[in-house]
Amino acid sequence: MPTTWNPSDVGGSATFTLTNGNLTATITSATGSFNVRSVDRVSTGKYYWEITYGATYTALQGLGISTISTNLGSSSNQTAANGLFTAQVSNAGIYAGGVSTGISLGTITAGTVLCVALDMTNRLIWFRNGAAGNWNNNAGYSPAAGTGGVALTFCGPGFPAYAFYTTSNATNGTSVIANFGATAYAGTAPSGFGNLPTGTTSTSNEIATQLALEQWASTIPPNMQATQLALEYWVSNNVTTPQMIATQLGVEMWAGVAAAIAAQQARAMILA
């Protein structure tokens, strides 16, 4: 099942509602900013989704991805230090980590569908204005071929990313509808790109659990005896594309050196 916007992972001073199964975000009081991330995040794999702008449109909006480091409590437009999204500020430009890429997506208005193709394995992202538009506004670019993507330099290997939406001082009633794959897309997903998954809301890359039992004793003989049992299990939170799964079981026993030498000497005498 595809992901949705996360009502527990929002920020900013504007008030809003999430409806339509947490897929439609609507600004009800436009004072300040509004920022929201998806329920799920991904560290590897290739994903596609679409955002449709509602009948009330505000230019100062952005969408794309963010990391967990993005501050949702402040305005997260094109100057965001830890996010990448299209910022609809006069030229609908694409910004990566707060820096303009120089790519413009052209005119965006109410009803526009913006498409996103995210390759977390190779750390690249593409945007498309309209279901049949050019990726990153270049007919020669292709997510399926891995060409023309914006590099996610702010999001290192293994670091998870969320789908993201932001506004700043939007008009009341401004809304966007996310389609993460629950219904048919307006456009066609690039070959090899699937839906953002539903999994866990945890912000950690891995979960580790460890159980250890250790016992030491001093007796004559032997001089020292110790037994140790350890069990460790690691698993990625990303239930769709696990990053690491490892299990380890170890048993260790120590014996006093004096007892071992005495035993060896006794054995040598018998053989003699």
Specify whether 238 is located in the same domain as 130. Answer: no
**Range of the structural domain that residue 228 is part of:** 206-271
Q: What is the pLDDT of residue 189?
A: 98
Is residue 196 assigned to a domain? no
Is residue 197 assigned to a domain? no
Specify whether 243 is located in the same domain as 108. Answer: no
Specify whether 36 is located in the same domain as 155. Answer: yes
Confidence of residue 264 (pLDDT cuts 50, 70, 90): low
Residues 6-64 pLDDT 10s: 999 998 888 899 999 999 999 998 778 888 999 999 999 999 999 999 988 887 788 89
**For residue 172, is pLDDT > 50?**
yes
CA dist 99 and 84 (Å) reads: 9
Specify whether 169 is located in the same domain as 248. Answer: no
**Residue 11 tokens, joined:** 């920020």
Is residue 184 assigned to a domain? no
**Residue 174 tokens, joined:** 């401004």
Specify whether 135 is located in the same domain as 225. Answer: no
- For the chain, how many structural domains are there in total? 2
0.85 exceeded by pTM: no
Is residue 161 assigned to a domain? yes
Q: What is the pLDDT of residue 98?
A: 76
Specify whether 264 is located in the same domain as 138. Answer: no
Residues 182-191 pLDDT 10s: 999 999 999 9
CB neighbour list of residue 271: distance below 8 Å, 6 or more residues apart? none
**For residue 65, is pLDDT > 60?**
yes
Q: What is the pLDDT of residue 206?
A: 39
Is residue 193 assigned to a domain? no
Q: Which of 163, 179, 195 is the last residue of a domain?
A: 179
Specify whether 168 is located in the same domain as 261. Answer: no
Confidence of residue 261 (pLDDT cuts 50, 70, 90): low
Q: What is the pLDDT of residue 129?
A: 94
Specify whether 88 is located in the same domain as 26. Answer: yes
What CATH number should be reported for the domain holding residue 50? 2.60.120.920
| Ordered DSSP codes for 56-106 | S--SSEEEEEE-TTS-TTS--STT-TTEEEEE-SSS-EEEETTEEEEEE--
CA dist 128 and 32 (Å) reads: 28
